Chains A and B, each alone.
Chain A
Amino acid sequence: MSNDFYNEMCDSDGRLRPHYQEFADWLSAMPADRLARKRLEADTAFHRVGITFAVYGEESGSERLIPFDIIPRIIPSAEWATLQAGLWQRVKALNAFLHDIYHQQAILRAGIIPWESVLNNAQFRREMVGIELPSDIYAHIAGVDIVRAGAGEFYVLEDNLRVPSGVSYMLEDRKMMMRLFPELFSRQRIAPVQHYPDKLLDNLRTVAPPGVVDPTVVLLTPGAYNSAYFEHTFLAQQMGIELVEGRDLFVRDETVYMRTTQGPQRVDVIYRRIDDDFLDPLAFNKQSMLGVPGLLTAYRAGRVNLANAIGTGVADDKSIYPYVPEMIRFYLSEEPKLNNVPTWRLREAEDRAYVLAHLPELVVKEVHGAGGYGMLVGPAATAAEIADFRQRIMASPEKYIAQPTLALSNCPTFVDQGIAPRHLDLRPFVLSGKNIDLVPGGLTRVALTEGSLVVNSSQGGGTKDTWVLEN
């Protein structure tokens, strides 16, 4: 095994880490043919249930199975405690930041973040200025991407505060592991995650507009052709709420209703899985057929709440990301518990000069990019790709940031050649409402190609069950 990367299962001398002992014993006692059978069983089951995602850019409408790996990613309870505290802190600060920039803008006045990087940001929504939201919460669901690098320190790679997805895989992966290998769960205490939909629903109900006693919550989906449609149906079903499309809703007298067979029924909270731009054709993208005309008016009148709020994108934007540690100090008067990845902003001449001189060792990302599209991983790129990126950066430097190539931790994973280490990340889902909460675990994504650092499912990544061990 490679010694250059932190290995989740073994230390640098190749000794098993204690929290993997139990699992490793079990694995070594497992006959190879039984394992092969179980892996096949998992594939078949995922296919039959249709846990797939649509891939953009390939043959239209193609659906692919996200590969599932049976070797779990295990996190000991002490490490989880650190992570949890760090996540709470970070999401709290991000919500405080969002409230602040849409109200007093104290952090801008204090000169901690430059005015223009917030106010000229395309993700800053003027429509949100001065609006009061229940519990002052903007990002009700945050999917924070975390990686381990170096000697095992945790870094936050990205705060996803718009419409983070992937939680259904966390739940389905756990269900699959319990079905395939129930004995593993009786051998050790693995913290449960299956109550996530309950917590999510509770959380959404706590942020209903004031005065609503028994709030009606719905999940708003772009429809059956969206890549995450499976997740939308799954969550709506698990929470027992209606899965609605824009055309199922209408606004009358600043109130949102859904069309039901028993007539119009008022809707109080919308868990929306549609981007800001498509929410309301009267206010944003006029061409949008996905949204609800007049939704923004009802929202601004405080007659309906949206999760997440409109305009959260300004806080998870890659150009704002470098300031998150400052936000934590500013709003919470605390030192950040999770590391930020050092980031160069290419619109700044000094940073740009450095980055252009070191492209082969850096990762360059589009400020507004997502899903692993449109990024350069220097060490893995060809000379031509690097030259191409150099052109793009010089043409519009403000569109890019650069970061050092992190030596992402890896974990043994089943691949064609047997078991080999593959790089991974972790996306826990943090829920904020009256309280802040998260289930112990998250979605672990793994890059299945040898040496690859890109874990996105759209780029051939797979998933693993994530275990937080209880003491």
Chain B
Amino acid sequence: MLSRTADHLYWMARYIERAENLARLLDVSYQMSLVPQSLAAQSRNWGALLALNSLEGSFAQRHAEISADNLLRFMVTDAENPSSIYSCLRAARENAHAVRGTLTLEMWESVNTTWIELRGKSFETIVSTGISEFFDWVKRRSALIRGVTFGTMLKDDALHFIRLGGLIERADNTARILDRQYHILHDHNEAGVSDFYQWGALLRSLSAFQVYRKVYRDAITPARVAELLILNPDMPRSLHACTDGIVCMLQLIANDVSADTQRRAGVLHAGLHFGRIEELMTNGLHEYLEEFMDRVYEIGEGVGRSFLMAA
């Protein structure tokens, strides 16, 4: 298929996945801000969110203080912030529009309708109907698009590039969310009831709360949370599951110049496949996750070089 077409499909999928993960993260942060806690903890909670996407600078230019209202406005509907949900869904729609002939009609309609509906929502109307309702809407739209993609598209390269984009984005996002939240919780352990909520919220943001209960049938501990979200191959948002998919997709689209990218993905996957959580945590979880994100970034770059900018 045309490299440009593959590029648009790949990025369409990345932006949709990114919007969804952002909605998850914001939702959980918002829920957590409702739990009684110190002001310092509040501000840390929201500040961590900005740090997650290295947005402290551009946020500071637009808002004086870190408050729930300012932050949500910045991350949800701000068209100037390239990392807002609004910007992600706009970029997804623009990418889809450029290759609408490659998408099935249902896919194009679901992406386009998402954008049309989003355009009709102001921050004020979102807040007045309940911001959690809005986050649910983002997740539902993402799920709908994913379902329509799997339900209507031919299993050819177009689908493989869409899936690859989604998986690479998800691998990065899960690692990012885990890293920041883990970092905060670990460094500032305000023991007691809020601790339970904090860990619970982290799991919920990745739709992993019920899964955790099912897998461990035990109290929530940091090591187990890390194990579930990193190593469990059956947990759809875990790093292991994402790299499983990445390796598989790369095999399906392999070409003459993609061997190195496949090798890198294989190495990353092997570490997760055969690794144990105690080993990963020896040098510190933060260090591990940071390296993981670097490697995912390299794989993304490799995909660009091998497939999206041919000759």
Contacts and interface: CB of A to CB of B under 8 A. Distances in A.
Interface in B22-54: none
Nearest to B109: A48
B297 to A, nearest CB: 20
Contacts of A247: 4
B101 A260 contact: no
Interface in A339-381: none
Given A49-B105, A264-B310, A264-B311, A259 B97 contact: no
Contacts of B256: 262-263
Interface in B59-100: 97-98, 100
Contacts of A261: 1-3, 6, 157, 161, 253, 255, 307-308, 310
Contacts of A263: 255-257, 310-311
Interface string A219-249: 0000010000000011011000011110110
Interface string B243-260: 000000000010111000
A237 B5 CA distance: 13
A279 B256 CA distance: 31
Nearest to B306: A261
| Interface residue range, chain B | 20 to 34
A260 B100 contact: no
Interface string B108-122: 110010000000000
The prevalent SS among residues of B at the interface is helix
Contacts of B255: 261-263
A258 interface: yes
The prevalent SS among residues of A at the interface is mixed
A250 interface: yes
A258 B311 CA distance: 9
A245 B311 contact: no
Interface residues of A, number: 23
B3 A259 contact: yes
B277 to A, nearest CB: 37
A257 interface: yes
B105 to A, nearest CB: 7
Contacts of B101: 233-234, 236-237, 243
Contacts of B4: 245, 247-248, 259
Contacts of B3: 248, 259-261
B152 to A, nearest CB: 14
Interface string B159-195: 0010000000000000000000000000000000000
Contacts of B108: 50
A260 B2 contact: yes
Interface in B277-311: 307-311
Contacts of B109: 48
A400 B14 CA distance: 54
A242 B1 CA distance: 8
Nearest to B113: A48
Contacts of A248: 2-4
Interface in A257-281: 257-264
Contacts of B97: 224
A260 B1 contact: yes
A263 B101 CA distance: 21
Nearest to A48: B109
Interface of A: 48-50, 224, 233-234, 236-237, 242-245, 247-248, 250, 257-264
10 contacts: A224-B97, A234-B101, A250-B311, A257-B311, A260-B2, A261-B1, A261-B307, A261-B308, A262-B255, A263-B256
